[in-house]
Amino acid sequence: MPIPTFPEANHPIVKSLSHYNDQELLTLFQRYTDTGQYFVAIFCRYSPMVYTLIQHSARSPVQADYLFALIWRHIFTNWASRHPRLSAEGMTFQSWLVNITALCINQ
């Protein structure tokens, strides 16, 4: 299964956000959830990693796509409604994302 590509990743608005680190993007996303650009930047940054993790567990391309959508919906609703403190938990966003992906795969 090939990793999907998204044309949004090449959009000038998304590219202009590439200098922000994960924590900055997450903070901006929570502050400005209606604009969408910060979530799209996070999505474009990490969607290949998430899809790769899913590929190893999915039984079919349809299941992989379904899990991929569920995981990103979970991420969106989790970060839009509250902002977990990664530093307090000793985690990076990437490690948190790997954990969330694993939880969703195993459900």
With contact defined as beta carbons under 8 Å apart, do 42 and 26 qualify?
yes
With contact defined as beta carbons under 8 Å apart, do 94 and 42 qualify?
no
Q: Cα angle vertex 106, ends 103, 107, to 5°?
A: 85
Q: What is the pLDDT of residues 45-91, one digit of tens each?
A: 999 999 999 998 888 999 999 999 999 998 888 776 665 566 656 78
The DSSP symbol for 57 reads T
With contact defined as beta carbons under 8 Å apart, do 14 and 41 qualify?
yes
Residue 4 pLDDT > 90: no
77 vs 12, residue with greater confidence: 12
